A and B are shown apart, each in its own frame.
Chain A
Amino acid sequence: DQQVKQNSPSLSVQEGRISILNCDYTNSMFDYFLWYKKYPAEGPTFLISISSIKDKNEDGRFTVFLNKSAKHLSLHIVPSQPGDSAVYFCAASHTTGRRALTFGSGTRLQVQP
């Protein structure tokens, strides 16, 4: 039973365009969400997070949107750059319960020059 799902295993976009990565979750107790980026042969690195009390969080070119009613979040990267090519993982936690992160299976983003 996968509680965090990333249904698109891969995504290809042109440099300068917007990249939209999607994530769905099933556990309504999740109240904190994170995005991680992973390059080959490296551990995941934290990108951006959002608490369930918000519906949007922005950090430079990266914006995360949260739709609690749909149990859906998305990561927007604008403009996309070739260096953004990596695997992106969505993660969620229940900060007052089982607080360990639950990860999705990842989406491989390829930004074409």
Chain B
Amino acid sequence: ETGVTQTPRHLVMGMTNKKSLKCEQHLGHNAMYWYKQSAKKPLELMFVYNFKEQTENNSVPSRFSPECPNSSHLFLHLHTLQPEDSALYLCASSQDMGYQQYFGPGTRLTVT
């Protein structure tokens, strides 16, 4: 595997379900990010991890819970989501913050 991978690519879940999104980067980077992209909106930064430490939580509701066990892996745990949380969730990584980020293909989430 190369670059940034995300699983699953598509996810449909009910509002009472618990699921997790997984991201893995194979680039040796030290920073990882979660973004949300809703239709016709800018990419919204959700969380930033730098050397496994969360450095930014962009006022994200607690029903989204990130986890970064090491510099290569990032998870987004989901529970009791709302239909408006349906979006494309993108993971990214970078060697240094503020510069070029490499994105995964995203997980298309639908909450029913």
Interface residues, chain A, with chain B CB atoms under 8 Å away: 2, 4, 9, 32, 34, 36, 41-46, 49, 89, 93-95, 98-106
Contacts and interface: CB of A to CB of B under 8 A. Distances in A.
Given A100-B97, A105-B40, A46 B45 contact: no
11 contacts: A4-B42, A9-B40, A41-B105, A89-B43, A93-B97, A98-B56, A99-B96, A99-B98, A101-B98, A103-B42, A103-B43
Contacts of A34: 100
Q: Is the interface of B mostly helix, strand, loop or mixed?
A: loop
Q: Is the interface of A mostly helix, strand, loop or mixed?
A: loop
Contacts of B106: 41-43
B105 A49 contact: no
B41 to A, nearest CB: 6
Contact of A32 (B40, B45, B90, B99): B99
Contacts of B42: 2, 4, 89, 103-106
Given A93-B98, A106-B42, A100 B33 contact: yes
